[in-house]
Amino acid sequence: MHYSIKFRLDIKKNVYVSKKAVSAEPYYQISALIKINKGATIHYYTGYSAQKNAWFGSAVEAYKADGNRSYGIHRNAYAKKKTSIVLFSEVNKKLDRIASRLAMLAEERDDISRDELIDILDVEIGKKTKEQVEEDNPIECKSGENPLWVLAELFYMDATVSPGRNKTRMNAMHHFKNFEVSRKRPITFEKCNMRLLSDFMCYLIQDEGQMNDNARSKSHCARKKNRNTISKILSNIKFFFTWCRKRYGVTIEGNVGDFQVPTAKYGDPVTLTQEEKRKMFESDMGGDAHLEYIRDMFYFQCSIGARVSDFFKLRNENLIFDDGKWCIRYMPSKTKDATGIACRIPLSSRALGIVEKYRVADAHPKMPLFDFPKHSQTYNDNLKKVFQKAGLDRTVVVYNAYDEAEFKPLYELAMSKFARSSFIDTLVGQGVTDNIIRTMSGHAAGSKAFHRYHNTMKNKQQNEAVALLD
């Protein structure tokens, strides 16, 4: 999907705030002008209004004022939402969310209707709740269709959540559909109960080596699923029923909400030490320019701690000069709904050197920051080669689907996730507070994944403490 978006003050839409305010300086609506696939312009009102002297709209003024945007409210200025005063930072954050959501939709969809786009943006900036949108757009099933699977498709194609979460939902519903096929009788909302979920869990546990009717070939068999995979699938199915009830008022006879999902079990995150990162960055890739590029990309990712999905989406506009320091600023796709806060990561001298080495001068702000790999798996495959050439062969303990410990060299396990874990582990080890780390990593408060980094540091401190006894 192709699109264009421009924010502006609509000087034809004078917003009444108060006699005193209007007489001094009128307030105008802040609108987004959106075009999809070169169609008609959609005039989307953001819900905010501002005075002319608080608004900047040209690129020249923007870079002088804020360093990273071409629209928004000047620093130390404010706008209005109805009659309430709103600080510049809140308005600019909401405008960023509109632009980011539209960019995400462009990657996911070939086309979208005007009304659907407006509903998605209304949810994104809090003008409407998801429930209100669903009430305005009731679902109708065609004759003979099972409402459960109609809603299942809406569940994993939900435009209001991230593509990664939708993929997880789709995977869970795929297993649920295969379960229906194995039972040889349809699953309906009327038949959903505790017994059904128990049978589904047994199906997930016991399907090792069973032929999948939807398999790519007759030789393809399902792999045994580990405890965490089963837990994630069941959690998504439980949430699906809750989602159906809250959004569409679906009545489910059995109290599936009481079903106990097995607790996920995670080992400590695999991290690289500062010495290992230095060794890798300074290692010779044997004249392989591509592996050298992958090495540098990984080191840069270690320097900002971004998830690989966010890392691959970085654009030139995400590189900003703020408070005398070059930084990366982006909105994390996974936690943007939970936090609504963009990540800001100051760049080290070595990370900035990587930018200068590969970045194209005077590139368009919307162009990718680097020439990223097309797929994360390709990235991971090349990282294994980089780690091996760098001699990163430290033995690491991992657990298989049977919860059995396995010992493997570090290079066999190399993946993009190590960059994020190493970034956080280093900051935790240096005594940086959790609140500051989360502003850079994008973790939501109370994140269990974030807490595991403290377990890693505890293990290191125990090792150091015991060494003192010798």
In the prediction, which pLDDT does 67 show?
40
Using DSSP, state whether 376 is helix, strand or coil: helix
User: How far apart, in whole angstroms, are the C-alpha atoms of residue 39 and residue 251?
Assistant: 41
In the prediction, which pLDDT does 263 show?
77
Share of the chain above pLDDT 90, in %: 26
- Is residue 3 over pLDDT 80? yes
Q: List pLDDT tens digits, range 211-258.
A: 444 443 434 445 577 788 888 999 999 999 888 887 787 877 667 778
Q: What is the pLDDT averaged over residues 375-401? A: 89
In angstroms, what CA-CA distances link 445 with 28, 263, 306, 341, 417?
A: 36, 20, 17, 12, 20
In the prediction, which pLDDT does 460 show?
61
Do residues 438 and 406 touch, judged by C-beta distance below 8 A? no
Phi, psi of 400 (to 5 degrees): -85, -170
In the prediction, which pLDDT does 410 show?
94
Split at pLDDT 50, 70, 90, the class of 139 is: low
Does domain 274-467 bear CATH number 1.10.443.10? yes
User: How far apart, in whole angstroms, are the C-alpha atoms of residue 69 and residue 59?
Assistant: 7
Q: Which of 89-93, 306-310, 396-400 has maximum average pLDDT?
A: 306-310
Split at pLDDT 50, 70, 90, the class of 125 is: confident
More confident site: 70 or 128: 128
Do residues 80 and 88 touch, judged by C-beta distance below 8 A? no
Q: What is the pLDDT averaged over residues 304-322? A: 92
Please state the pTM of the whole predicted model.
0.58
Residue 466: CB partners within 8 Å, gap ≥ 6? Answer: none
Amino acid at 237: I
In the prediction, which pLDDT does 141 show?
54
List b or e across 75-108, with b for residues whose CB sees 16 or more CB atoms inside 10 angstroms. eebbbbeeeeebebeebbbbbbbbbbbbebbeee
Sign of CA dihedral 297, 301, 307, 310: negative
Looking at the chain, the domain(s) classified CATH 1.10.443.10 span 274-467
More confident site: 328 or 98: 328
How many Å from the N-terminal Cα to the C-terminal Cα in the chain?
65
- Residues making up the chain, counted from first to last: 470
More confident site: 449 or 416: 416
Amino acid at 191: K
Mean pLDDT score of the chain: 81
Lowest mean pLDDT among 5-19, 74-88, 170-184, 380-394: 5-19
Amino acid at 45: Y
User: How far apart, in whole angstroms, are the C-alpha atoms of residue 38 and residue 4?
Assistant: 8
In the prediction, which pLDDT does 214 show?
45
Amino acid at 401: A
In the prediction, which pLDDT does 221 show?
47
Using DSSP, state whether 196 is helix, strand or coil: helix
More confident site: 19 or 120: 120
In the prediction, which pLDDT does 242 show?
86
In the prediction, which pLDDT does 276 show?
95
Residue 27 gets the label, from left (phi > 0), alpha (psi -120 to 50) or beta, of: beta
Using DSSP, state whether 283 is helix, strand or coil: coil
* Closest C-alpha among 173, 152, 290 to residue 235: 173
Side by side, the strands of the sheet bearing 325-330 are 319-322, 325-330, 343-346
* Closest C-alpha among 22, 122, 33, 27 to residue 79: 27
Lowest mean pLDDT among 159-163, 384-388, 411-415: 159-163
In the prediction, which pLDDT does 61 show?
38
User: How far apart, in whole angstroms, are the C-alpha atoms of residue 137 and residue 212?
Assistant: 36
In angstroms, what CA-CA distances link 91 with 78, 118, 253, 388?
A: 8, 18, 44, 48
User: How far apart, in whole angstroms, are the C-alpha atoms of residue 301 and residue 439?
Assistant: 16
In the prediction, which pLDDT does 351 show?
95
Do residues 416 and 376 touch, judged by C-beta distance below 8 A? yes
* Closest C-alpha among 105, 331, 366 to residue 118: 105
Q: List pLDDT tens digits, range 259-305.
A: 888 877 666 788 999 999 999 999 999 999 999 999 999 999 999 99
Split at pLDDT 50, 70, 90, the class of 106 is: confident
